[in-house]
Structure 1
Amino acid sequence: MRKIVMLGANARTQRSASSIQLPTEYSPSASSAPYYNYTTGDFIVDLRAKKKDDDEILLDQEDDKKKLKELLHERWENAREFNAFNYSLNCMYRCLDGKYDLSMQLNIERGELRRKPMHFKNIKEPFNHLRFNFTKLHDKEILFYLKCEDEPISDDPLDRHLVAVNSSPLERDHSLIIPSVNKCHPQVLTLQAVRIAVDLMLLVDDDTFHILFNSLLGQASVNHLHLHAMYWPYDSDLIHRKCEPLHDVPDAFVIRPPAWICPAIVFQLAKIEDYETFKRNIFKCVEYLTETNQAHNMFLARAQPIRISGAEKEEDRRGERPQLVTCYIFPRMNMIGAKPPSNFNPAANELAGNLTSYTIRFFESANEQAVIRIIEEEASLDDDTFQSLCFDLADVLIGRSVGTSRPVDLDVLEGLTSPEIDELRDSFQSFMPRSPSIRHRNSGSRSQSDDGCPPKLDALN
C-alpha cells in the first residue's frame, strides 16, 4: 500500500480566461504545440507481453521518437510556467476498509475553483458557441496534436485532434482529449472519439493510465466533446472482479452488485485482430444509450483477462497475467441540472472506485457503506432497469431488432424513463436500501451508517 503524498505546496495560481475564439478553419501554424505522430505498429496490446528484446528495440527508437507518456508529462509540466492551472496540486489519499478496496483523494481546491458546471436537460444538446468551449483555449494550454501516420484518424485534413491541460486537475498529467476540436461537436461520443481513446490506451506504457468520459446528465460540465486522460496511484478493484456474459453476445460482459458497487457493461481487447470490433462494440453501446437519453460514464483501464468463473475477486499478485485494454460503460441515473460539489460527485472515476472528496470532513469520516449509499442514490440504476437495458443492448450489439431478447413481462416498462420506473416501483412497495453491507438490517436510520471511527490515514511515498 502506498503512503500519503503531498503534491506541490506552492501558492495558488489563478488561471486567466480568454475571450478569443479560434475560427473553425484555423491551421496548425496557429499553435506552437507539437504533433505526436504514431502508427498502429506502436500499439501495445498486453503490457506484460513485452520481452527484453522488445524493450531494447523501443530504447533504440526513443532517440528519434519520444514516448507518448514522456511527451505528455513534459508538456504538462511546462504548462505550469504559463499559469495554466487553477491551483497547485496539494492532495492526500486514503484507502477505505471494506469489500471493494475504494481509494479516496482529498482535493478541496478542485471543489472550490473548478469551472462551474453548466445546466443541461438532455443527453444530446446542441453545441453553443456562446458558452465556454475548447476553441477558447490558450495556445500554451494545448499540449500536443495527435496524428496516426498509417491509419488517419479522419479523412478531413483540417481536423485537429488535440490533448490539452485540464485546468482543474485531479493528478499530475491530468489532461483533456479533444477530437476534431474545430468541428465543435457536442459532448456525445463519436466513433472517432472512441478510436482516439483506444489508440491512446494502446500507446501509453503504464498500467495506472486511464481514459474517462462523462456524458451530459452524467457529470459532464462542458458541452464540447472531450475525454479525460489521467493517472491514478491505486489500482481500481474493478479490474480484479469476475464478470458474467451479456446474454448471447460474444466478447461482451456485465458486472453488477454485489460483484461491484454499480452495474456496468464490459468489453476487452484481447488481440489486435479484434481492434475494429472492440471499438465498434463500445460505440454501439454508447450510441444506444445516447439515443435513449440514458446518462452514462466510461472508464478505460488495463485489466487482467475477464473471468466468468471462479472467485468474485482475484488479484494477480504475482504479475503473470496479461494487462489488456478494458472498457467499462456505466449506464446511470440522469442528473438533471448542475449539482454543486458537496462530499463527492459520482462520475466515471468514482464509479470505478477512485473517489475525490471536496471536504476534509467527508475525507476523514467516510466509510465504504456511506460511499455506496451516495452512489446508489445519485448514480446506480436499479436491477430491473439495468436488466432491461442489457436485453436491449444485446440486440443492438448482435444486430437484431431491439426488444427481440426482452422477456414478455418486461414489455410493460417499455418507453418509461429510469425516474418513471422508479416512481412506479415506489408506488407498489416501500423503499429498502440496496447496499450489500446494510441489507441484513431490519431497521435503523440510514444516517447511522456514517458513524464509527474513520479509517486510519496511511502516509504514501
Structure 2
Amino acid sequence: MMLRIKRVPTVVSNYQKDEGEDAARRSGGCGRNCLQKCCIPDAKHPLYTFKRVQEIPGDKCVLEHDNNQAPVAFLDSLLLGKWEVRMQRGLFLYDVTACETKVIPGRYGFMAQLNEGRHLKKRPTEFRVDKVLQPFDGNKFNFTKVGQEEVLFQFDASEDGEVQFIPDAPVDADTSPSVVAINVSPIEYGHVLLIPRILECLPQRIDRESFLLALYMAIEAGNPYFRLGYNSLGAFATNNHLHFQAYYLAVSFPIEKSPTRKVTTLGDGVKISELFDYPVRGLILEGGNTLQD
C-alpha cells in the first residue's frame, strides 16, 4: 500500500477567518486591535532585549546560558508563563495538553500525537505549494492581522549590550520589532511563533539576520528541550510571512540520537556531518568560533 502525506493547512491566528472585513473601518481602527497602521500607534507590549554574543565559550553554550542575571526568567516566566495565560483566556482553538502523545515502539522511537483539533480547524490554502519562494502578498493573511492579545512580547537586541525587560514598551513601527506570538493551532505545549521584523512583511524565506535572531532566542531559553525550527512554503508552512516555530517538549527527538558521519570542516571551524542509517537524509552543522559562524 502506498502511503501519502496529506497536506493540512492550519489556522495560526484567530483572525484568519475575518479577511472579509470592510477595509474602510481601518481608518479609525479596524476594531480587531491588530498590528497594522490602523491599530499600532498606541500599542504597547512587553519588550525583552538580549545581549549579542560574539564568542562561543564551548559546545554547550546554548545549554549553559546563565539566566541568573536576567531581569525575568525567559523560558519559564516570560514565554511559557504568558503562553499559559493565553490558554486560560481561551485563545487557542483546542487544548493541546489534552492530546494523546506516545512514543511508537521500534528501532527509531518516533513520536505520534492524536491532534484532532489541528486537523479539523484547517483553512483553504492561500498560495501555490509547488513554489518555495513567492513574493509577499498583503491581501492574504499575514501576521500583522493577528489580534494583539495573541502577542506575548517583543524580542530584539539590546542597544546597550545588557539584557533588559520592559513590561509595557511602545511598539515602534519605524524600527519594525520582532515579536513572539502564540500559534492558536499548537502542536505542543508552549507552541509560539517568532516573527522577525514583523512590520516589514518579509516573505517566508530564511536569511542570515533572521536565523541569528532565532539562535539568540534559543540561547535565551537556555534549555535543550526548547525546540525552534523553520519550514518553508512547500514544506507545510501555511503563511508566506517570515516566521519560525518554537515549542517545549521534554523528550529527545529520534533524529537527535541518529548516528552521523563527518563530511568536512570549514575554515571557520564549522563541522558539517550527514545522517546515516536513518529514514531521511539530513545535514548537521555544528561548532564554529562565533555565533555568526
> Would you call these one fold, judging by a TM-score over 0.5?
yes
**Whole-Å separation in 2 of the counterparts to 1:172 and 1:248:** 36
Aligned partner of 2:80 in structure 1 is 73
State the shift of 1:244 in Å.
Answer: 2.0
Q: How many angstroms apart in 1 are the aligned matches of 2:62 and 2:149?
A: 35
1:221 aligns with 2:245: no
Maintained 8 Å contact 1:243/1:253: no
* 1:253 equivalent in alignment to 2:247: no
Q: CA deviation at 1:105?
A: 1.5
Residues 62 and 222, structure 2, Cα contact 8 Å, conserved in 1: no
- Of residues 137, 144, 158 in structure 1, which corresponds to 2:153? 144
Q: Tell me the equivalent position of 1:87.
A: 94
Aligned equivalents of 2:124, 2:184: Cα separation in 1: 12
Partner of 1:454: none
SS at match of 1:34: strand
Q: Distance in 1 between matches of 2:61 and 2:176?
A: 31
Paired AA for residue 266 in structure 1: I
Normalised by the size of structure 1, how large is the TM-score? 0.49
Confirm or deny: 8 A CA contact 2:263 2:274 kept in the other structure.
Answer: no
Provide the residue aligned with 1:109 in structure 2.
Answer: 117
Indicate the structure whose relative CO is greater, using CA pairs within 8 Å and at least 6 residues apart. Answer: 2
Displacement of 1:204 after TM fit?
0.8
Aligned to 1:294: none
Could you list the per-position Cα deviations for residues 158-213 of structure 1 after superposition, in whole angstroms to 9, with x for gaps in the alignment? 22100001010012210001001101111111222101111011111221111111
User: Does the Cα contact within 8 Å between 2:261 and 2:276 map onto a contact in 1?
Assistant: no
Secondary structure of the residue aligned to 2:190 is coil
Q: Is the 8 A contact 1:25 1:158 kept in 2?
A: no
What is the CA-CA distance between 1:49 and the residue it aligns to? 7.5
- Provide the C-alpha distance between the structure 2 equivalents of 1:213 and 1:24, rounded to a whole number of angstroms: 28
Alignment match of 2:187 (pick from 170, 176, 187): 170
Q: Distance in 1 between matches of 2:236 and 2:62?
A: 34
Shift of 1:33: 1.9
Q: Distance in 2 between matches of 1:159 and 1:86?
A: 28
Question: Is 1:264 matched with 2:282?
Answer: yes
What's the counterpart of residue 8 of structure 2? none
Aligned equivalents of 2:213, 2:93: Cα separation in 1: 27
For structure 2, which runs of at least 5 residues remain unmatched after alignment? 1-12, 22-29, 162-172
After superposition, residues 17-416 of structure 1 pair within 5 angstroms as: 17-18=17-18, 19=21, 20=30, 22-23=35-36, 30-40=42-52, 46=60, 50=64, 58-59=67-68, 61=69, 65-69=71-75, 70-89=77-96, 90-120=98-128, 121-150=130-159, 158-247=175-264, 249=266, 251-258=270-277, 260-268=278-286, 270=287, 273-277=289-293
State how far apart, in whole Å, the 1-side matches of 2:207 and 2:226 are: 22
> 1:276 is matched by which residue type in structure 2?
Q
The DSSP-based 3-state class of the residue aligned with 2:219 is: helix
For the 8 Å contact 2:259–2:276, the answer to whether it is kept is: no
Structure 1 residues 254, 109: CA separation in 2 closer, same or farther (over 3 Å shift)?
same
Structure number with larger C-alpha Rg: 1
1:193 partner SS = helix
Cα distance change of structure 1 residues 49 and 227 upon mapping to structure 2, 3 Å threshold: closer
| 1:116 CA drift (Å) | 4.0
Task: Give the Å deviation of 1:107.
Answer: 0.9
Whether the 8 Å contact between 2:110 and 2:254 is mirrored in structure 1 is yes
User: Do the aligned residues in 2 keep the contact of 1:171 with 1:232 (CA within 8 Å)?
Assistant: yes
Change (3 A) 1:276 1:267: same
User: Whose strand fraction is larger, Structure 1's or Structure 2's?
Assistant: 2
Render the CA deviation track for 1:117-153: whole Å, top value 9, x for unaligned: 433131111111111110101010011001211489x
**Structure with a larger share of its residues in helix:** 1
TM-superposed deviation, 1:74? 1.7
Task: Note closer, same or farther for the CA distance 1:181–1:105 as it changes in structure 2 (3 Å cut).
Answer: same
Question: C-alpha distance in 1, partners of 2:195/2:183?
Answer: 11
For residue 246 of structure 1, give the secondary structure of its aligned residue in structure 2: strand
Aligned length: 249
For the structure 1 residues 129 and 48, does the alpha-carbon distance in structure 2 shift closer, same or farther, using more than 3 Å as the test?
closer
In angstroms, what is the RMSD of aligned CA positions? 3.0
Q: Write the letter of the residue equivalent to 1:262.
A: V
What residue identity is the alignment partner of 2:292?
Answer: E
Q: Taking every aligned residue pair, what percent have the same amino acid on both sides?
A: 22
How far did 1:254 drift? 3.4
